[in-house]
Amino acid sequence: MFLFLKLILAHLVADFVLQFEELYRLKVKSLLGHIAHVLIHGIVTLLCLFPYLNELTIWLFVAGLMATHLIQDFIKYTLTKKIPKNTFVYFMIDQCFHLLVLSAIFLLPVSSDVRGFPNHLILNTLYTQSIWTVNAIFFLLLTFASSYTLFAFYQSYRKDARPDHGITSLEIIYTSLERILIGGIALFTPNLLWLLITPLIGLVRLPIVKMRDQKDFMFSLTFSIILGLFFRLFQ
């Protein structure tokens, strides 16, 4: 599970945090954008697996990840252009296949090794104690990943959705902070007190006209609570 968590973290960073707007537009236009994205993905993955880079199998594994990622992305974008209304379905299937490919790490003997940075105390602690990786994954799922997941959902199933619904700078910043708060409450609040606390957070949206959509808040609220409750299993 140790290396699998590192791979998930690398995937979230490369697929969401570092997939900026210019790169996205380039991916839509040409194969060059897909290649650039895959190269970024490969570099981030190698950085997350740095203590294992003396293993040839790791290099081959990352090369395989990059190849399959390129194929998957090309297929997804081709299908999305042809049938845009299925954006969410393509997005979820694509992410499930990414997760399946990442799980192939369990087939490697090195996957059972826990390596770190013995000469750097803080870095070694952050790297070898999986709770830090889990918390980073939780943070990225609540912020960047959830923003684009909900965007894909809106484009497929909300007739009133704007072309940039949920992914404007204001919306990403606000909803990310909102989901961090809600997810954190669901994660750490004992008993069922989170049921009483989290809906009240939506009141903060009222002064901002663009953020008053009740459906947006309910989707964000539900997503955050589910993630918070799920990640209780890892605390």
- DSSP per-residue string spanning 42-80: HHHHHHHTGGGTT-HHHHHHHHHHHHHHHHHHHHHHHHH
Neighbours of 194 (CB within 10 A): 20
Kindly report, residue by residue over 180-205, the tens digit of the pLDDT. 999 999 999 887 888 888 999 999 99
Q: Does pLDDT of 208 surpass 80?
A: yes
The model's pLDDT over 95-152, given as tens digits with 9 standing for 90+, comes to 999 999 999 999 999 998 999 999 999 999 999 999 999 999 999 999 999 999 999 9
- pLDDT of res. 173: 92
Please, what is the average pLDDT of the chain?
A: 91
Indicate if the pLDDT at residue 209 is higher than 90.
Answer: no
For residue 201, what pLDDT is reported? Answer: 93
9-23, 123-137, 158-172, 186-200 — which one is most confidently predicted on average? Answer: 123-137
Question: Other CB atoms closer than 10 Å to residue 25's CB: what's the count?
Answer: 11
- Residue 27 confidence (pLDDT): 79
Assess whether pLDDT exceeds 90 at residue 7.
yes
The residue type found at 2 is: F
Answer for the pair 147, 166: CB distance below 8 angstroms, yes or no.
yes
d(CA 35, CA 131): 32
Q: Would you state the pLDDT for residue 127?
A: 96
pLDDT tens-digit series, residues 41-92: 999 999 999 999 999 999 999 999 999 999 998 888 888 878 878 889 999 9
Residue 83: which region, alpha, beta or left (left: phi > 0; alpha: psi -120 to 50)? beta
Please report, for the chain, the start and end positions of each structural domain, with discontinuous segments joined by +.
Answer: 1-128, 129-235
Per-residue confidence (pLDDT) for residue 174, from 0 to 100: 93
| CB half-sphere exposure, 10, CA atoms < 13 A | 27
Mean pLDDT along residues 30-47: 93
Report how far apart, in Å, the C-alpha atoms of 212 and of each of 168, 175, 215 are. 15, 12, 9
CA dist 150 and 154 (Å) reads 6
What φ, ψ does residue 96 adopt, rounded to 5°? -65, -40
172: which 2 tokens? 């990403």
Query: In this structure, what token pair is assigned to residue 175?
Result: 């909803």
pLDDT recorded at residue 184: 93
Task: Give pLDDT, residue 22.
Answer: 80
d(CA 41, CA 19): 10
Judge whether 161 and 192 are in contact, CB under 8 Å.
no
Task: Note the pLDDT of residue 65.
Answer: 96
